[in-house]
Structure 1
Amino acid sequence: MPVKLEHINQPTPADWADIAKIQADTTDEQLLSSALQHHFEQQGWLIAARFNDRIIGVILGSRNHQTVTLSNAAVRSITQRRGVMHQTIHLLQHWASDLDITIRINTVPETLLPALEKRGFKRTESAWIWQP
């Protein structure tokens, strides 16, 4: 399932509908429209994985100088276990490499630790870090 990476700070009505489906599947309150509006107001953005013009996966992103912090990764339940998040992280690493940006992830579910290690992320005392 090939995905395209997109950085969004102003979702379209169709995007909001897709995000709502992801939020309903995951019950992640940070993906509710009110929480996302606050995230956007704080200069954050949504990193979207698209397939057939629909958002099927998201990650919240925020940038501080040359470091992007990722949080709240989620994928539609009907597309889980198809490599969506792996592809999204891979595409993010290419984007970050082109801009010489460090990627930071503060909290990672145990099930994703091997995938991050495989992608070259290193564990520090407080986060998982990937540097180009």
Structure 2
Amino acid sequence: MPVYIEKVATPSPQDRTDLAKIYADAPAWLLAPHASADELIAAGIERGTLVAARFNDRLLGAALLEKGENRWLLSHLCVRKITRRRGVAQRLLDEALRIAVEDGKPLHLGAPRDQLESQAFAAHVKLPLESL
């Protein structure tokens, strides 16, 4: 079965559990400027920027996707630890890039510049990195 990418507007109780598991082991720098995973998830739902990767009715990864006038920004990308290294983040990234290009906007990654992991990921996927 394929991994589907969707906007999370009205998450079910299971979706909320899955989102909590996705961000449960995320480092604090990935959650910033939010104080917790719960705040990040709530803000993403409220602003309509939370997107997620679904496989077999479960959410495996999530990110915030802000659609700006000049560029789109993908940030807070995280995949559930048990599911990492299986292409879920790449699928989220590919879909965000596809729809940004359809809208005629470049896609940027948002993360703290001082995090080597963020710098390496941005270089690997060949996208500009914006500081959050």
The normalised TM-score by structure 2 is 0.75
* Structure with greater strand percent: 1
2:73 equivalent to 1:73: no
1:52 is matched with 56
The alpha carbon displacement at 1:113 in A equals: 3.4
Report the Cα offset of residue 34 of structure 1.
3.0
Do 1:5 and 1:47's aligned partners in 2 also have CA atoms closer than 8 Å?
yes
User: What does the per-residue CA deviation read over 1:42-75, in whole Å, with 9 as the maximum and x for residues that have no partner?
Assistant: x241110111111100111222224221111100
**What is the distance in 1 between the residues matched to 2:15 and 2:70?**
28
| TM-score, length of structure 1 as denominator length | 0.75
1:116 corresponds to which letter in structure 2? V
Q: Which runs of 5+ in 2 are unaligned?
A: 112-116
1:109 matched to which residue of 2? Answer: 118
C-alpha separation between the residues in 2 aligned to 1:91 and 1:38? Answer: 21
Q: What does residue 32 of structure 1 align with?
A: 37
Contact 1:86 1:115 in 2 (8 A): no
- C-alpha displacement at 1:77, in angstroms? 0.8
Displacement over 6 Å in runs of 4+: none
Give the C-alpha shift of residue 91 in structure 1.
1.6
Q: Which moved more, 1:54-63 or 1:4-13?
A: 4-13
Contact 2:49/2:65 (<8 A) preserved: yes
Partners of 1:68 and 1:11 in 2: how far apart? 23
Q: What CA distance in whole angstroms lies between the structure 1 residues aligned with 2:27 and 2:14?
A: 19
SS in 1 for 2:85: coil
CA distance in 2 between counterparts of 1:50 and 1:127 reads 27
Q: What is the identity, as a one-letter code, of the residue corresponding to 1:33?
A: D
Contact 2:8 2:48 in 1 (8 A): no
